[in-house]
């Protein structure tokens, strides 16, 4: 019986599995996809994510990340263009998840979907697409997707995320934040050329994803200029529904079930801190297990550690949603970006 079975090999699950395996624990990492693939994500990584990756022996730049140095925000005819107050990278998730999964080594079992998990004696029994597995404890790292029988209690109303890779867009070293009617989008360079457009919708999709480009372009002169010659590289955007922005896992839960990443807390995507939180929560869960802490102690500690970042990201996303013109006011963006960046740090 392995010490721990980790369900889901995204950033959170990989971080937990790598840390446990390196500490000599018998760990199994189950991932339903047969190979690393694109997922809905703005692909923006800041210093918190880089700090967690460094603990795992990885570095965004050597993985092929394009450095980002500026942030542009457009609303209507207005635009702000400020220096980013920290180092950041644009790194496609296929590359990031692929590197993390490789670092997990023999613990990883690709192409295995976990269909359910029930407590059994001192441990857990998992039903998977490749048969039953028993484990002393499980680390739930399935991201946005709830495992059957283990919903996130009290999750807020879900939003929709969309992602589309584009050719014909020149972003240089800038990330652009583009509010539009019904949501906001991030646009940043792809390392080999072109750009990643990723949007969060806070209302009903109303024609999206088909007219994503049209809707974003209508939001600002900056979006219109950046996306004028854009061609989608895919037939349609990748989409994910049911994203409960603002969710935080309560401390209580069944013994031996540790929730990490988006299963523990879902930070509004606008700050680009989701991957950082996922990586740090995976590392923290591994530390808790190595220290013999029960799941509720870990969840309580993670709630405390992520409370400030979640509050500030929620506040910033609210301002962006409720009053884009105020957000885009020239002069306010630089100080606000610095403040939010400082308050959403989760690295110890
Ligand atoms: C629109 C949008 C934009 C975003 N932009 C950014 C950004 O720019 N920067 C940033 O840092 N964060 C961003 N995020 C947040 C970020 O994508 C997530 O916070 C992060 O991916 C969470 O990592 P995770 O490991 O918890 O889950 P995931 O990355 O979702 O990984 C979960 C893994 O579990 C696997 N899985 C699921 N169910 C099962 C099962 N039953 N059995 C086996 N395997 C399973 C999945 O295949 C997947 O590989 C964004 C999110 C959205 C929605």
What's the CA gap between 312 and 87, in Å, rounded?
20
Neighbours of 78 (CB within 10 A): 16
Checking if the pLDDT of 325 tops 80, the result is: no
pLDDT tens sequence across 224-263 = 999 999 999 998 889 888 888 888 888 888 999 999 999 9
Number of domains in the chain: 1
The two three-digit tokens of residue 266, written as one number: 């879902």
CA atoms within 13 A of residue 346's CA, in its CB half-sphere = 34
Cα separation of the two ends of the chain: 33
Query: Residue 15 in contact with residue 282, Cβ under 8 Å?
Result: yes
| Residue closest to 231 by CA, chosen among 162, 179, 165, 170 | 165
CATH of the domain at 102: 3.50.50.60
Verify whether ligand 1 is closer than 6 Å to residue 44 (CB atom).
yes
Verify whether ligand 1 is closer than 6 Å to residue 104 (CB atom).
no
| Residue closest to 139 by CA, chosen among 30, 5, 22, 10 | 5
The two three-digit tokens of residue 97, written as one number: 């998840």
Verify whether ligand 1 is closer than 6 Å to residue 43 (CB atom).
yes
Verify whether ligand 1 is closer than 6 Å to residue 15 (CB atom).
no
pLDDT tens sequence across 75-133 = 888 888 889 988 999 999 999 999 999 999 999 999 999 999 999 988 999 999 999 99
Verify whether ligand 1 is closer than 6 Å to residue 209 (CB atom).
no
Checking if the pLDDT of 322 tops 80, the result is: no
CA atoms within 13 A of residue 202's CA, in its CB half-sphere = 18
Residue nearest to atom 4 of ligand 1 (CA): 41
What's the CA gap between 20 and 136, in Å, rounded?
14
| Per-residue pLDDT, 316 | 79
- Asked, for residue 199, whether it belongs to a domain, the answer is no
pLDDT tens sequence across 161-216 = 999 999 999 999 999 999 888 888 999 999 889 999 999 887 766 665 568 888 89
- Asked, for residue 202, whether it belongs to a domain, the answer is no
| Per-residue pLDDT, 80 | 86
| Per-residue pLDDT, 346 | 79
Q: Which domain holds residue 322?
A: 4-68+90-156+245-330
- Asked, for residue 237, whether it belongs to a domain, the answer is no
Nearest atom in ligand 1 to the alpha carbon of residue 128 is 42
Q: How far is the CA of 329 from the centre of ligand 1 (A)?
A: 32
Verify whether ligand 1 is closer than 6 Å to residue 33 (CB atom).
yes
Residues 6+ positions from 209 with CB-CB distance below 8 Å:
162, 164, 236, 237, 239
Residue nearest to atom 8 of ligand 1 (CA): 42
The two three-digit tokens of residue 303, written as one number: 């709630």
Mutate-to-test residue for ligand 1 from 84, 274, 280, highest number of ligand atoms within 8 A of CB: 274
Q: Describe the chain by its helix, strand, coil percentages, rounded to 5.
A: 35, 30, 35
Query: Residue 187 in contact with residue 175, Cβ under 8 Å?
Result: yes
- Asked, for residue 78, whether it belongs to a domain, the answer is no
| Per-residue pLDDT, 210 | 60
Q: How far is the CA of 265 from the centre of ligand 1 (A)?
A: 11
| pLDDT-based confidence at residue 339 (cuts at 50, 70, 90) | confident
- Asked, for residue 168, whether it belongs to a domain, the answer is no
φ and ψ of 5, to 5 deg: -110, 125
State how beta strands 257-259 and 137-140 pair. parallel
| Per-residue pLDDT, 242 | 80
- Asked, for residue 274, whether it belongs to a domain, the answer is yes
- Asked, for residue 113, whether it belongs to a domain, the answer is yes
Q: How far is the CA of 221 from the centre of ligand 1 (A)?
A: 31
Q: How far is the CA of 19 from the centre of ligand 1 (A)?
A: 19
pLDDT tens sequence across 43-71 = 999 999 999 999 999 999 999 999 999 99
- Asked, for residue 323, whether it belongs to a domain, the answer is yes
């Amino acid at each position: 019986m392995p010490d721990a079975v980790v369900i889901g090999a995204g950033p959170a699950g990989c971080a937990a599995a790598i840390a446990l395996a390196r500490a000599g624990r018998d760990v199994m990492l189950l991932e339903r996809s047969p190979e690393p693939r694109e997922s809905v994500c703005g692909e923006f990584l800041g210093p918190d994510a880089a700090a967690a990756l460094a603990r795992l022996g990885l570095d965004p730049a050597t993985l092929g990340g394009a450095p980002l140095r500026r942030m542009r925000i457009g609303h209507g005819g207005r635009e702000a263009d400020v220096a980013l107050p920290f180092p950041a990278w644009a790194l496609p998730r296929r590359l990031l998840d692929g590197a993390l999964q490789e670092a997990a080594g023999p613990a990883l079992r690709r192409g295995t979907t976990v269909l359910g998990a029930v407590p059994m004696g001192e441990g857990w029994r998992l039903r998977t697409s490749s048969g039953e597995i028993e484990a002393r404890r499980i680390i739930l790292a399935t991201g946005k997707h709830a495992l059957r029988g283990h919903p996130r209690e009290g999750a807020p109303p879900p939003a929709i995320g969309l992602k589309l890779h584009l050719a014909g867009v020149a972003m240089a070293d800038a990330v652009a934040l583009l509010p539009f009617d019904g949501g906001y989008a991030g646009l940043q360079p792809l390392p080999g050329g072109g750009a990643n457009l990723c949007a969060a919708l806070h209302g009903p999709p109303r024609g999206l994803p088909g007219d994503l480009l049209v809707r974003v372009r209508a939001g600002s002169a900056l979006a219109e200029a950046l996306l004028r010659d854009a061609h989608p590289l895919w037939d349609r955007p990748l989409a994910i529904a049911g994203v409960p922005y603002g969710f935080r896992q309560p401390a209580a839960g069944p013994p031996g079930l540790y929730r990490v990443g988006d299963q523990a807390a879902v930070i509004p995507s606008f700050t680009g801190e989701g991957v950082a939180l996922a990586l740090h929560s995976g590392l923290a869960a591994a530390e808790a297990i190595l220290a013999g802490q029960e799941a509720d102690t870990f969840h309580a500690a993670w709630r405390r550690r992520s409370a400030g970042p979640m509050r500030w990201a929620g506040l910033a996303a609210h301002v962006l949603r409720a009053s884009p013109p105020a957000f885009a006011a020239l002069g306010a963006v630089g100080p606000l970006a610095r403040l939010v960046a400082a308050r959403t740090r989760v690295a110890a």
